[in-house]
Amino acid sequence: MSSAGLEATVPMAPGLEVIADLHLDPADLSACEAFASWLEDRGRLERLVILGDLFDAWVGPGHLQMAGAKSVIAALRGVSERGGSVDLIWGNRDFLLDETVARAAGASLRRDALVAVNEAGERTLLVHGDELCTLDASYQRLRRFLRSRLVTGSLLRLPLFLTLWLARRLRDKSKRAVGSKPPEEMAMQEDVVLELSKRSGASALICGHAHRWRDDQLCDGVRWVVLDAFGGSKDCLQVQPGGSWVGTSSGFLRGAPT
C-alpha cells in the first residue's frame, strides 16, 4: 500500500463502476468470450475499475498469446475505444499483470490501490482486499515475497510452460492451506480497514477478495463495502447521480466464466 496521498486518484462521478474477482482462465476461450460479450453489450462505459483477480492466474506476457486472454484484452480495449476508461488493480492471482498488458488493453494499471474523489473532496479507497487479512501471517509473508522485485522480475523472464507449472503448484498449495486454516485467521480485519482508510484520508473502503457481499458502517464513520465475486447477486458498485455508491448486479450469469 502506498503512503498517504500517493495513490492514484480518479473522479468519483456518475458512470463509474467497480467489479472484482472474475477469475477468468486465459486458456478457457468460451469463459473469456462470455465476459467479452457482456462487456461489449454494455456499450459505452464512463469508467470501469476492476479490483483484482481479473484472471485466475497470470504468469507473464506469455499469457497474452492465449486465445481467451486475447478476447478479454480486446474487449477491455473496446471500452477505451468507445470513450471510456479502465483501471486495473492487482489481485492475489494476477499481480504479474504489467504495463505490457495494460497498454494492450488500453487500461491504466493501478497496482495496489486507487482513490476515487467526489466533487465534495470525499475520498474512497479501492483495493483488492487480501492485504486486509493480516492475521494470516504465512500468507502475508508469501505475498511480500512473491511481489518483491527480485521474484517478479525472475518470474517474468521464465518460459511460459514453467511459469504455468509454478502457478498450478501455488494454486494447489493455496487450496491446501485454506483447507487447514480456521476461517477467523483468513478473515479481513476491520482495524486494517480503518488504518488504511485513515492513511489515505478516505471515508470509505471498497474491496473484493472475500467473494461475499457486505456493506458495513464502521466506527469513525468509515463505510466498508466488499463485493460479491463477479456473477454474484451484488457484484457491482455504481456511482449514482449525487455521488453515492450503490451496490447492484452486473447482470452477468455466473457459471461459464469462473
Q: How confident is the model at residue 6 (pLDDT cuts 50, 70, 90)?
A: low
Q: What pLDDT, on the 0 to 100 scale, is given for residue 68?
A: 95
Parallel, antiparallel or unpaired: strands 85-89 and 108-111: parallel
> Helices then strands (H, E): number in the chain?
8, 12
Map residue 88 onto helix, strand or coil: strand
Structural domain contains residue 20:
yes
> Could you tell me the CATH number of the domain that includes residue 162?
3.60.21.10
Structural domain contains residue 191:
yes
> Which pairs with CB-CB distance under 8 Å and at least 24 residues apart come from 170-173?
171/57
The predicted-structure confidence for 64-91, as pLDDT tens digits, reads as follows 889 999 999 999 999 999 999 999 999 9
Say if residue 196's pLDDT is above 60.
yes
Q: Which run of H or E residues covers position 140?
A: helix 137-146
Structural domain contains residue 130:
yes
- In this prediction the pTM is 0.90
Q: What pLDDT, on the 0 to 100 scale, is given for residue 197?
A: 97
Q: What pLDDT, on the 0 to 100 scale, is given for residue 257?
A: 36
Say if residue 163's pLDDT is above 90.
no
The per-residue pLDDT of the chain, averaged, comes to: 90
Say if residue 175's pLDDT is above 90.
no
Structural domain contains residue 168:
yes
Say if residue 19's pLDDT is above 60.
yes
Share of the chain above pLDDT 70, in %: 93
Question: Which residues have CB under 8 Å from 161's CB, separation 6+?
Answer: none
- Amino acid present at 155: L
Structural domain contains residue 256:
no
How many structural domains is the chain composed of? Answer: 1
Cα–Cα distance list, 146 to 80, 96, 136, 191, 246 (Å) = 31, 9, 16, 25, 34
Structural domain contains residue 255:
no
35 compared with 58, residue with greater pLDDT: 35
The predicted-structure confidence for 106-149, as pLDDT tens digits, reads as follows 999 999 999 999 999 999 999 999 999 999 999 999 899 988 98
**Number of Cβ atoms within 10 Å of the Cβ of 90:** 23
Structural domain contains residue 258:
no
Map residue 10 onto helix, strand or coil: strand
- Domain interval for residue 19: 8-248
Looking from the CA of 107 toward its CB, the CA atoms found within 13 Å total 30
Q: What pLDDT, on the 0 to 100 scale, is given for residue 255?
A: 55
Structural domain contains residue 257:
no
